[in-house]
Amino acid sequence: MEFDVNIFVQQLVNPSYLSGAFLSVAVAVLSLILATAIGFAVALGRTSRSRIAQGVAGIYTWFFRAIPALLVLLIIWNALPQLFPVLRQDWFSPFIAAFIGLGIVEAAFMAEIIRSALLSIDDGQALAGRALGMSPVKVMLKVVLPQAIRTALPPTGNEFIGLVKFSSLASVISLQELLTTAQVGVNITFRYAEYYAAAIVYYLIIVSLLTLLQSYVEKKFVWTSRSKSKKPSILEPVGQGVQS
């Protein structure tokens, strides 16, 4: 069997690939938002002086770093609805289960990124804010966070890209994301090379766009009055957060 360019091109423009790619990105975006919110709370807990907050945050990180994301997805989709009737209703779709599941796992990794970003800010910054009379919340929002975000952006971009790829795990709970779309096509036609190649092209496009977005956002956090232009590169190494 030879590589059939026609089949490949046909799949590239196949709307089901596009909708699969859209679902993958949407799951990644929502789970990253969820992970950042939970991760921030966990990071605050871990840097808190309260023993209880430290303990809860520590256990969260310990637990979700250990459990495979795949298992978490299966639990959320299969086990939880047995325990909680509310999850048996229509609104609880594979999409929602996927982004919640990936989000709470990813939160353990985001917590570490946020924690080290918070710790990287010189103590003199909060001290200067406090000396001005700023409340603890204001010191966090106006002084520490804007600086910590800059530190956290590059690793967060890596996590984001990792999440796009790990959204493929949601195939086990029958979400029609990108890889599932390819797999379904393969199962019917057995044209492995063409269908997988189309998936590769989509992943490359998505990750390239995300990398450009990342360097655009990072440039917003270069604190000079002259706009420095550093050529964005899409050929940067990509880390992975969620371990399956």
Query: Which residues neighbour 151 within 8 Å (Cβ) at sequence distance 6 or greater?
Result: 116, 117, 120, 121
Span interacting with another protein, options 123-131, 163-171, 201-209, 211-219, rule CB under 8 A: 123-131
Choose, by CB under 8 A, the member of 15, 85, 133, 237 that binds another protein.
133
- How do the residues of the chain divide into helix, strand and coil, expressed in percent and rounded to 5? 80, 0, 20
Coil/strand/helix, residue 198: helix
Question: Using an 8 Å Cβ cutoff, are 11 and 17 in contact?
Answer: yes
Choose, by CB under 8 A, the member of 120, 138, 174, 219 that binds another protein.
138
In the complex, the smallest distance separating the C-beta of residue 35 from another protein, rounded to whole angstroms, is 24
Count of positions on this chain that bind another protein (CB under 8 A): 23
Taking CB under 8 A as the rule, does residue 47 contact another protein?
A: no
Which residues in 168-227 contact another protein (CB under 8 A)? Answer: 221, 223-225
Exposed e or buried b per residue across 191-222, where buried means at least 16 C-beta atoms within 10 angstroms of its C-beta = beebbbbbbeebbeebbeebbeebbeeeeeee
Quote the tokens at residue 138.
């204001």
Span interacting with another protein, options 56-64, 84-92, 140-148, 236-244, rule CB under 8 A: 140-148
In the complex, the smallest distance separating the C-beta of residue 132 from another protein, rounded to whole angstroms, is 4
Choose, by CB under 8 A, the member of 5, 9, 79, 128 that binds another protein.
128
Give phi and psi for 174, each to the nearest 5: 60, 35
In the complex, the smallest distance separating the C-beta of residue 228 from another protein, rounded to whole angstroms, is 11
Span interacting with another protein, options 29-37, 47-55, 137-145, 163-171, rule CB under 8 A: 137-145
Taking CB under 8 A as the rule, does residue 135 contact another protein?
A: yes
Nearer to another protein, 6 or 227 (CB): 227
Quote the tokens at residue 102.
């990936």
Choose, by CB under 8 A, the member of 9, 59, 79, 132 that binds another protein.
132
Coil/strand/helix, residue 77: helix
Q: What does the alpha-carbon distance between residue 201 and residue 163 come to, in Å, rounded to a whole number?
A: 17
The residue ranges that bind another protein (CB under 8 A) are 122, 124-125, 127-136, 138, 142-143, 146-147, 150, 221, 223-225
